[in-house]
Structure 1
C-alpha cells in the first residue's frame, strides 16, 4: 500500500487530497480538504499557514509520495508570482518531511481523470467522486488535489509496468 498526497496550490485556497493505492492499483480515499488562507493579514502569513497546515496533515496521514500541480503561465504576472510562492511553500512542507515531489500539468491531470485536457472543474469533481466512491459534492480545489494524487498513482503504475523510473521520464515541452 502506498499513500499519496496531491496538492493543488493556490494563494487563497490550497487543495489537499490523500489516497491509498494498493499493489493491484485499487484506489482508496483517505482525506481531502482545502486550506483557506485568504483571511490572513498578510501574504507572508498565508504562505506560513500553507506550510504549517500541510506539515500537520503530513504528520497525521504520513504520505510516502506527492503529486503537485505544475505552475501555468497566468495572464496576470502578480497572480502568477503569488501562485508560485504558494506552490513553493507547499513544496517546502513536502520536502522538509523527506517526500519526493512529482509535478503534473493541469492538462495532464485532466486527461488522466476525464480523458480530455480541456475538461472543466465540474467534470473533474464528478469523475473523482466516482473513482474514489465519494458521495456528495466535492469542493473544487480538494477535488483537483485528489485528481493530482490519482494521476500520480496512474503514472507511477504505468512507468513501473514498462520499467522506466519516474526520474528518467522527461517529456519535451
Structure 2
C-alpha cells in the first residue's frame, strides 16, 4: 500500500510517499510544494492544489493522511493554515483519494514515542525508520512522519 503523508502549510506544504507492507516501511519520495508569498491568496491555494495533484498523479498512492488542524494563538495564522489545508484536501478529493486525519501529538507519539517531541526529534526518527532517506526539508520530514503514523494507526478504508 502506498501512503501519501501531507503537512499542509500556505508557504510550504510538505509531502511524503511511503510503501507499507505489514510492519515494513519503505521510502518512495518526498518534497515540498512552495508558494510565492507575494502572490494573491487564490493563486497560492491553486499552486498548492496543483502541486499535490501532480504528486498524486505521479505516485498513485492508495490513501493519504494529513495532520488535523490546530488552533494557533493568532487567528489569522489559523485561518491561512485552514485555507491551505482545504486546498490540499480538495486535491486529494478530486483524485478520489481518501484521507485519514491525525492529531499532531498522535503523529509525534507514533514516530518518536512522545507526543511532545520537537521537530528535530521527529526528523531524526524519520531517518531511522526510513534508512537512507534524503529528506527535502522539515516540512517533508513532517509529512513522512504523518505517513508513518498513518501506516501504524489507521484502519484500512
Shift of 1:38: 3.3
Displaced runs of 4+ in structure 1, greater than 2 A?
Answer: 134-138
Shift of 1:139: 1.2
Task: Report the CA distance shift for 1:14/1:104 in structure 2 as closer, same or farther (over 3 A).
Answer: same
Equivalent position SS for 1:30: strand
Q: What RMSD in Å do the two structures reach over aligned CA positions?
A: 1.5
Tell me whether 1:25 sits opposite 2:23 in the alignment.
yes
For structure 1, the 5+ residue unaligned runs are 160-164, 167-173
Of structures 1 and 2, the larger Rg is shown by: 1
2:77 corresponds in structure 1 to: 79
1:121 corresponds in structure 2 to: 119
Paired with 1:101 and 1:20, the residues of 2 have a C-alpha distance of 16
Aligned counterparts, 1:20-169, within 5 A: 20-22=19-21, 24-39=22-37, 41-135=39-133, 139-156=137-154, 159=155
Paired with 1:119 and 1:64, the residues of 2 have a C-alpha distance of 28
Shift of 1:95: 1.0
Paired with 1:136 and 1:66, the residues of 2 have a C-alpha distance of 21
Paired with 1:33 and 1:3, the residues of 2 have a C-alpha distance of 16
Q: Does the 8 Å contact 2:30/2:135 carry over to 1? A: no
Q: Does the 8 Å contact 2:10/2:80 carry over to 1? A: yes
Provide TM-score, normalisation by structure 1: 0.86
For structure 2, the 5+ residue unaligned runs are none
Equivalent position SS for 1:19: strand
Task: Report the CA distance shift for 1:20/1:74 in structure 2 as closer, same or farther (over 3 A).
Answer: same
Paired with 2:141 and 2:135, the residues of 1 have a C-alpha distance of 9
